[in-house]
Chains A and B, each alone.
Chain A
Amino acid sequence: MTEPTRFLLSGASLYGERTADILVADGRIAEVGTGLDASGASVVDADGLVALPGLVDVHTHLREPGREDAETVETGTRAAALGGYTAVHAMANSNPVADTAGVVEQVQTLGRRAGWAEVRPVGAVTVGLAGEQLAELGAMADSAAAVRMFSDDGICVHDPVLMRRALEYVKAFDGVVAQHAQEPRLTAGAQMNEGIVSAVLGLPGWPAVAEESIIARDVLLAAHVGSRLHVCHVSTAGSVEIIRWAKARGIDVTAEVTPHHLWLTDELARTYNPVYKVNPPLRTDDDVQALRAALADGTIDVVGTDHAPHPSEHKECEWAQAAMGMTGLETALSVVQHTMVESGLMTWRDVARTMSEVPARIGRVADQGRPIAAGEPAHLTLVDPAARWTVDPAVQATKGRNSPFAGRELPGRVVATFYAGHPTVLDGALNTPHPAAESAGAR
């Protein structure tokens, strides 16, 4: 059986701005216009749906290799497709760590075999994430995976000399260091945001300054060596101020915020339910409002999910014993619609910018995050902004059951995802992986 390769997305609202048909043929957008000829094409009724370029996540934990009980490339990219993503950056904290050309090529191959989305491996900055010695960044950059983003995410590159060298070194191949900003000594044993709630709950506090001091240091280092810095999951109002200051000085820094930090606060820790335990921790409502404003005004460039699935036993325990992290791929777009679009802070055009275009540029993903225009690769997401649905982790594609939005009603539903011209998601459900996946598997 050969799968269709021509699709007419009829009556879609491009970026929520104007209505047009989109003709997809052989992996590319053949034509955009009104009253396009549907002959020979499968028609997807996109009336009332917003068309966006396929979403690109700069921050995903796919857990494979090593923690296949938590997630695999297969399950993680299924979740990505359902969330409207056509590309994800797979963080390096797997086991073995993605700190060699071999591991990053393996992750990339797993992604190709799965065929649900493009998997862009992130290389570790230091060997084994140990923060002592640079990993072979050049080898990973030159490998088939062509790594451009490097991160020890989960752990901060806290040694200032090592951070400086990493920033300098990646200039050789247009790389970027994505920093997990967390001063380790100030956060030893930390369990949640340090403030009014932690004082009452008796949980060791995680001060905002532990994040802000590292960001301040890193933007100064990036300026000094003339390199590119990306700040992962910014979580405090103070961090926003520092990044705003750095950008005003012309420093080449980009920043990311997670969907959960745009909505949830440390008040949720009062439940002691570890589903709300995450790194960096949920902060206060003042921080949430500052992060929303920063994403709207461009101080924060992108939304990254920090999708971090965990097996249930790592969450069904005491708070202090629980793992940090939340799933996010299948809820990100809805949460952004709720927090940013429905609040009037952003348009769908801004959503395209912060969830597709700029993420692709930061990760140097050449044919993602492109305009919806004739001749461009057909990475597309159709979302029904009027839909409402209730989050049930048990029916999600990710193996992780640790969604902090479980039981909440969210707006917006991904109806279809086209990855390189192929619908990985249709009618809001998984369809089939990209047909090229099989050939990748045969390699």
Chain B
Amino acid sequence: MRHLLSTHDLSRADAIRILDTAEEMSAVNDREVKKLPALRGRTVVNLFFEDSTRTRISFEAAAKRLSADVINFAAKGSSVSKGESLKDTAQTLEAIGADAVVIRHPASGAAQRLATTDWISAAVVNAGDGTHEHPTQALLDAFTLRRHWAKLAGTPSGGTDLAGAKVTIVGDVLHSRVARSNVWLLTTLGAQVTLVAPPTLLPIGVEHWPCTVAYDFDEAIDAKPDAIMMLRVQAERMNASYFPSTGEYSRRWGLGDERFARLAELGLADTVILHPGPMVRGLEISSTAADSARSQVLRQVANGVSVRMAVLYLLLSSGLYAQDATAAHAKESAS
């Protein structure tokens, strides 16, 4: 793995390797000294063309806990807003000596452009590109779910996947990079994914995705999901006629108090609620649901740091040699 650009092309083995490594990272986060020397002397640039304090500080904490030097490059108000191209910015970072670039960008494919051009040689981590993908968000969601179910089963989560789990993703799938990354990753890990959304907020072509699609949230709840992932809905979509009003959206596709209560009526004691944040309370999710014991929102945030540590570690700890199991084995025996 040279870069992490999407979950679409992530193999099951690589996904599990990231999740297992994140488990070890998570143990470090519980220690008094929350720091490892693994990336000492390496430079990680957080290149953010969109404001996203949450994602940025998560990556920053992850890099710092691995002892990397962190440079935060917020493109707003910089030379970029004066018309500097992505290419020039990338080449600047190359000249500075960046070993990894964590990029958040409003254009779909921006991370892949960085990774596949000769503008920069650093490892590229996609921290959200347009409406394409947000792979570390999906990984932290998978990590959170895996832990939850391992805990219920009383088994260690290491090495396990999400086989058989039913995950329902609700909201603006069309514009959601989180939904895309989760559909690919969760299904790669064996989960059954159902998308619930107004037909206007599903992409043409969604019927080719490895999941089922439904328009009725209540029916989806009656199908007894193990997890419900709510997506953020931007109220301004209303102005482009994606739905008639926020009130109607909330009634049909929001996780309001009644639907939340229905989970208990159905005896779904262990069904959890996820949200990538930031939440719009009252639109897609009620405060009762968001603040309930089912909500994994804060665990998602904490797990985000562990998952991002794992990704940075796996991408950066091997700088010179490609992945080669034979070489690893030979070295180990010689020690």
Check A-B contact in the complex, CB < 8 A. Answer: yes
Interface size classification for chain A: 20 to 34
Residues in chain B near residue A273, CB distance under 8 A: 113, 116
In the complex, the answer to whether B130 meets A199 with C-beta atoms within 8 Å is: no
In the complex, the answer to whether B206 meets A318 with C-beta atoms within 8 Å is: no
Residues from 372 to 422 in A contacting B, C-beta threshold 8 Å: none
Pick the residue among B86, B108, B133, B205 that contacts A317 (CB under 8 A): B86
Residues in chain A near residue B209, CB distance under 8 A: 199
In the complex, the answer to whether B108 meets A207 with C-beta atoms within 8 Å is: no
In the complex, the answer to whether B205 meets A201 with C-beta atoms within 8 Å is: no
Instruction: Give the distance in Å from the alpha carbon of A200 to the alpha carbon of B205 in the complex.
Output: 8
In the complex, whether B329 has a CB less than 8 A from a CB of chain A is no
Residues from 310 to 343 in A contacting B, C-beta threshold 8 Å: 313, 316-321
- Given A194-B205, A272-B113, 12 new contacts (CB under 8 A): A191-B108, A196-B208, A199-B206, A199-B208, A200-B205, A202-B132, A203-B131, A313-B85, A318-B86, A319-B108, A320-B130, A321-B86
Contact mask for chain B residues 163-181; partner A; CB cutoff 8 A; 1 contact, 0 none: 0000000000000010010
Q: What would 19 A/B residue contacts be, using CB atoms closer than 8 Å?
A: A197-B205, A198-B205, A199-B204, A199-B206, A200-B205, A201-B109, A201-B132, A202-B129, A202-B131, A202-B132, A202-B180, A271-B112, A271-B116, A273-B116, A313-B85, A316-B85, A316-B87, A317-B113, A318-B113
A200 and B85 in contact (CB under 8 A), knowing A205-B203, A207-B204, A318-B113?
Answer: no
Contact mask for chain B residues 84-121; partner A; CB cutoff 8 A; 1 contact, 0 none: 01110000000000000000011111101100110000
Q: Kindly provide the distance from the CB of A185 to the nearest chain B CB, expressed in whole angstroms.
A: 11
In the complex, whether A16 has a CB less than 8 A from a CB of chain B is no
Contact mask for chain A residues 206-240; partner B; CB cutoff 8 A; 1 contact, 0 none: 01000000000000000000000000000000000
In the complex, whether A195 has a CB less than 8 A from a CB of chain B is yes
Contact mask for chain A residues 14-34; partner B; CB cutoff 8 A; 1 contact, 0 none: 000000000000000000000
Pick the residue among B107, B117, B204, B208 that contacts A321 (CB under 8 A): B107
Q: Kindly provide the distance from the CB of B107 to the nearest chain A CB, expressed in whole angstroms.
A: 4
Residues from 188 to 214 in B contacting A, C-beta threshold 8 Å: 203-206, 208-209
In the complex, whether B151 has a CB less than 8 A from a CB of chain A is no
Contact mask for chain B residues 317-331; partner A; CB cutoff 8 A; 1 contact, 0 none: 000000000000000
Q: Using a CB–CB distance below 8 Å, which chain A residues touch chain B?
A: 191, 194-205, 207, 271-273, 313, 316-321
In the complex, the answer to whether B132 meets A195 with C-beta atoms within 8 Å is: no
For A316, the closest partner residue in chain B by CB is: B87
In the complex, the answer to whether B204 meets A194 with C-beta atoms within 8 Å is: yes
Instruction: Give the distance in Å from the alpha carbon of A289 to the alpha carbon of B285 in the complex.
Output: 47
In the complex, the answer to whether B113 meets A200 with C-beta atoms within 8 Å is: no
In the complex, the answer to whether B204 meets A195 with C-beta atoms within 8 Å is: yes
Among the interface residues B87, B105, B109, which one has the most CB atoms of the partner chain A within 10 A?
Answer: B109
Residues in chain B near residue A203, CB distance under 8 A: 108-109, 130-132
Among the interface residues A207, A313, A319, A321, which one has the most CB atoms of the partner chain B within 10 A?
Answer: A319
